[in-house]
Amino acid sequence: MDILMNFLPISSKKALLFIILLFCMVSTPLKAVVKSTVSSSSSSVASSDQRDLITYFKSTRTLLPNPINIPLQNQSRTSKINLFTSSSLECSSTWNQECSNEILKIAHKKEHVHWIKSIRRKIHEHPELAFQEYQTSKIVRQELNKLEISYKFPMATTGIRAVIGSGQPPFVALRADMDALPIQEAVEWEHKSKIDGKMHACGHDAHVAMLLGAARILKAREKNLKGTVILIFQPAEEAGNGAKSMIKDGALENVEAIFAAHVSHQHPTGVIGSTRGALLAGCGFFRAVINGKTGQASSPHHSIDTLLAASAAVISLQSIVSRESDPLDSQVVSVTSFNGGDSLDVIPETVTLSGTFRAFSRTNFYQLLKRIREVFTEQASVYRCTATVDFFEDNDTIYPPTVNDKRMYEHVKKVARDLVGTTNFKVVPPMMGAEDFSFYSEVIPAAFFYIGIRNETLGSIHTGHSPHFMIDEDVLPIGAATHAAIAERYLYEYGS
């Protein structure tokens, strides 16, 4: 070839080189086609459709429909997880709207919505009271096992602490309460409570389902988590102080911030509401026993009148709020029970009074407790009686105020506006209700928020603790997405 090239003119050399190059270009793909044909005839597993599917998933950055049109429920668990996780968007170092949109799209995926509703309905059918949430806890653990999410159990009898992410700092927590109420359900529907006298009348079944939904989303996006998310499934929020027990058992170990949601009939479905600072009041109860000396009503000078002392105490209690408290700082002291017996002509030896008190700051709350005790004991002494006051502290019935940390509140607002739109986030006024989430907020920065379930068409209009209470289940994927976005975005933007 070298000899021949020496004798050819320059133009002929160029022509020969072009012909050789053209031959190589044509022959190479032909060889590849032949090789591919032979290979495909000897293997029925690695089909071209499967290769296309793999490429399809790797190249996409947004949620896509099931490309092979196979019903998800007919696939194996592994296939479900692969399909669910395959379209996870890998966010940049800065969180953007596309990241929020991706989480919301995953939450509204048809298969995910069906799954989260089925979880909520299963829990709703089998309500369990405080520290008795054995079946509910079992359902949660079964789903965590399917998702291959590690957890610690038991905590506070039936509680669970699950972990998703790197296992390294920062740590952020999401909490859901699991207990039901001793109420007979009056709503007639397919998944009505099957346990007489017990009902999820406060939406805790939805709280658990939404947190499990968030767990599923976060597990799908685990490679994006720049730290660790802790999921707290807590027993006994209703008059049981399950939060205190969970904290005692280590639920907040390494955690630097915590968030929780509560469904609300006051807001349309999907509307999110919260406020900076005090959101829910501290709540306490009292029972005072005033002792004196019984005697005939016709001869009151032979008695020590407990009714007179008790009446004076009730009047004096009202002055705590009206004359000792800042009128711009809402507080409540209410006597709800006054029992001196039922005799018509005898002054009772003992009178028992009961009631409640509320305040939005921890300082004012404990000041109310102190003054209630003083009023009963001192006022009783004025009328020669004695008094004892029980605040049921040993029964864990004192709830401090639920106070949203400024920075955590701003984080919830920012996440909510990205997910549901600016007009669907509401700054809500504080409420005199109480929540044991307050115990978490006493320990670390926290934020509590509402998510609307009001839908007049469905009849989702009743207050919590009503036998007619029900929810609009369209809230479930929104709640799951909100939890997931709050946690993942926190790790992006607030990690230490």
Residues 140 and 273 in one domain: yes
Q: Is the pLDDT of residue 132 over 60?
A: yes
Number of domains in the chain: 2
- Span 249-277, average pLDDT: 98
With respect to residue 376, please indicate whether it lies within any of the assigned structural domains. yes
- Span 26-41, average pLDDT: 41
CA distance 202 to 206: 9
Residues 117 and 231 in one domain: yes
Task: Report the pLDDT value the prediction gives residue 160, as an integer from 0 to 100.
Answer: 98
With respect to residue 193, please indicate whether it lies within any of the assigned structural domains. yes
With respect to residue 14, please indicate whether it lies within any of the assigned structural domains. no
With respect to residue 92, please indicate whether it lies within any of the assigned structural domains. no
With respect to residue 316, please indicate whether it lies within any of the assigned structural domains. yes
- Select from 40, 242, 253 the least CA-distant residue to 128: 242
Residues 226 and 182 in one domain: yes
Residues 223 and 334 in one domain: no
Q: Higher-confidence residue: 396 or 29?
A: 396
Task: Report the pLDDT value the prediction gives residue 16, as an integer from 0 to 100.
Answer: 56
Residue 347 CB coordination number (10 Å): 24
Task: Count CA atoms closer than 13 A to 426's CA, side-chain side.
Answer: 17
Q: Is the pLDDT of residue 64 over 80?
A: no
Task: Report the pLDDT value the prediction gives residue 494, as an integer from 0 to 100.
Answer: 78
What CATH number did the domain enclosing 381 receive?
A: 3.30.70.360
With respect to residue 106, please indicate whether it lies within any of the assigned structural domains. yes
- Span 466-494, average pLDDT: 96
Residues 291 and 407 in one domain: no
pLDDT tens column, 202-219: 999 999 999 999 999 999
Task: Report the pLDDT value the prediction gives residue 317, as an integer from 0 to 100.
Answer: 97
Task: Report the pLDDT value the prediction gives residue 397, as an integer from 0 to 100.
Answer: 77
Judge contact between 201 and 194, C-beta under 8 A: no
Judge contact between 228 and 253, C-beta under 8 A: no
Percent of the chain with pLDDT over 70: 81
Give the residue numbers spanning the domain of 240.
97-280+401-495
Residues 259 and 321 in one domain: no
pLDDT tens column, 332-371: 999 999 999 999 999 999 999 999 999 999 899 999 999 9
pLDDT tens column, 74-113: 333 333 444 455 444 567 668 999 999 999 999 999 999 9
- Span 227-254, average pLDDT: 95
Token pair 């089998």 in the structure block, residue: 126
Residues 301 and 242 in one domain: no
Which residues have a Cβ under 8 Å from the Cβ of 81 and sit 6 or more positions away? Answer: 147, 220
Domain finish residue from 369, 395, 421? 395
